[in-house]
Amino acid sequence: MRTKVQHSLKKPEDFKKQLLLWAQQFDDVVWLDSNNHKDKYSSYDAILAVDAFTSLKTDCFDAFNRLQEYQTTTKDWIFGYLTYDLKNATETLTSNNFDGLDFPELYFFQPKKLFLFRDNQVEIQYLKVVDDEIEEDLISIHAVTSVLVERSEDAIKIKLRIHKDEYFEKANKMLAHIQRGDIYEANFCQEFYAEDSTINPLETFHKLNTISKPPFATFLKMEYKYLMSASPERYIKRDGEKLISQPIKGTAKRSLDSAEDKTLAENLSKDEKERSENIMIVDLVRNDLSHTALKGSVKVEELCKVYSFLQVHQMISTVTSKVSNDVKPVDVLKTTFPMGSMTGAPKISAMKIIENLEDTKRGLYSGSVGYFRPNGDFDFNVVIRSILYNSIKKYISYSVGSAITAKSDPLKEYEECLIKAKAMREVLEN
């Protein structure tokens, strides 16, 4: 049981910054920020969960069953992540590529302290074991005078795991698989990284979020491992009997010139290659949702709609379905994960080819961060446009990818990757 307190805010943005700085004292932190992007499926403006009361940490073996047991027995809010490599839990697949980060493959925790933001209100929910700390914590949070954080002074030298010529070679191998009919499309990713480097995670997140302002921004801390994410993409949400998935496929750069920017967005909306990428993934998502859907309930509510963010224009579709109450929440994740926008079609063949051609274990990149509510509803993002950091190993990583289809030009795919990498590189290289 949780004690709930409503707290009014005169300056929500200032309180958010104070709260996130205050949260750094804890080993387990999940901060989710919509940056005031309000759509019809938004539940909260922002959420902070800190201080694990119970937790689940596991590799891929039996991971979804263990998560189902944990979610069912806890019957409380739980927050955490699924790494891409949980594909190995549901299919006969492996992940043998290099991993410089060492994130556990699945991690969830039940927070003692929870803050839910809507408009100028924050609902504070503390477990009974700590509810006598609410007033004291509020005083401490409001007393955080500096909303700035210590700056990272060291210059970060970014390296490429796959160099340009090798990228073209691998992209052409992917195209050969498509021409042979092994796959129609696959998301091919590459890693940028820095070794023996240190950053201030909170400062890095603030900078990344400020230049991107995405609807699914995430700061995650698990002891000495960090995720700083400017994700624009929802993987899947459950709201009662309704499931909502919103895959992104199709990217164009922004322009400071308003007329040119409008043209770039219009060109994206009409681009045959980008539309075909998006439609292929929509078909895959429809198929994934059909595993748990009530008959005839899978619908495409929005197809290939272009949305504009600070860094890029994106083509987003919205696919929904209905499920019966006896469908277990984790079964929805198990039958749809990893998300189609980060794999390809057919999904299993694409994942096998991805594993062979990529040089880095994806781990949390192209996985998902989110939460379950006590009633089993949930909301999860897609971990893209993200910086990952292991502070003990002093290893910093960000990955980007693009969808390879029969119409792909490897040079244009490479340039798309660089557009997506721009924000992370700017943040790290100051």
Domains in the chain with CATH codes: 2-144+153-238+358-429 (3.60.120.10)
What pLDDT sits at residue 430?
Answer: 76
CA-to-CA separations, 194 to 154, 160, 398, 402, 423, in angstroms, rounded: 12, 9, 9, 22, 16
With beta carbons less than 8 A apart as the criterion, state whether 362 and 85 touch. yes
Taking only the tens place, the pLDDT of each residue in 267-319 is: 999 999 999 999 999 999 999 999 999 999 999 999 999 999 998 999 999 99
Pairing between β-strand 121-127 and β-strand 2-8 as defined by DSSP bridges = antiparallel
Supply the mean pLDDT for the chain: 95
What pLDDT sits at residue 40?
Answer: 86
CA-to-CA separations, 421 to 208, 292, 396, in angstroms, rounded: 11, 35, 14
Unique residue bearing structure tokens 């996130």 = 20
Name the nearest CA neighbour of 199 among 355, 398, 417, 372.
Answer: 398
Ordered alpha helix ranges (H), 38-163: 63-74, 87-90, 134-142
Name the nearest CA neighbour of 77 among 116, 118, 45.
Answer: 116
Alpha-carbon dihedral sign for residues 385, 102, 246, 351: positive
Pairwise CA distance, residues 222 & 314, whole Å? 30
- pLDDT at residue 120 above 70? yes
Pairing between β-strand 344-345 and β-strand 185-194 as defined by DSSP bridges = antiparallel
- pLDDT at residue 149 above 80? no
Unique residue bearing structure tokens 């091919």 = 188
Q: Give the CB-side neighbour count of residue 399, counting CA atoms within 13 A.
A: 29
Pairwise CA distance, residues 130 & 183, whole Å? 53
Residue 68 sits at the vertex; the CA angle it makes with 65 and 70, to the nearest 5 degrees, is 110
Q: What residues contact 42, with CB distance under 8 A and at least 6 apart? A: 34
Taking only the tens place, the pLDDT of each residue in 158-207 is: 999 999 999 999 999 999 999 999 999 999 999 999 999 999 999 999 99
With beta carbons less than 8 A apart as the criterion, state whether 235 and 368 touch. yes
For the segment 347-365, the average pLDDT, to the nearest whole number, is: 97
- Give Rg (Cα) of the chain: 21
For the segment 366-389, the average pLDDT, to the nearest whole number, is: 98
Per cent of the chain over pLDDT 70 is: 98
Extract the runs of DSSP E, i.e. beta strands, from 41-200.
46-58, 78-82, 106-118, 121-127, 159-160, 185-194
What pLDDT sits at residue 148?
Answer: 53
With beta carbons less than 8 A apart as the criterion, state whether 247 and 281 touch. yes
Q: Phi and psi of 192, rounded to 5°?
A: -110, 140
Q: Phi and psi of 419, rounded to 5°?
A: -60, -45
Taking only the tens place, the pLDDT of each residue in 93-116 is: 999 999 999 999 999 999 999 999
**Which tokens in the block code for residue 360?**
């880095």
Taking only the tens place, the pLDDT of each residue in 380-392 is: 999 999 999 999 9
Taking only the tens place, the pLDDT of each residue in 404-426 is: 999 999 999 999 999 999 999 99
Instruction: Map residue 158 onto helix, strand or coil.
Output: coil
**Which tokens in the block code for residue 351?**
């994942």
Instruction: Map residue 156 onto helix, strand or coil.
Output: coil
Q: Phi and psi of 159, rounded to 5°?
A: -115, 160
Alpha-carbon dihedral sign for residues 419, 420, 426, 428: negative
Name the nearest CA neighbour of 60 among 337, 259, 417.
Answer: 337
Residues catalogued as catalytic: 233, 249
- 210, 216, 222, 223 alpha-carbon torsion, rounded to 10°: 10
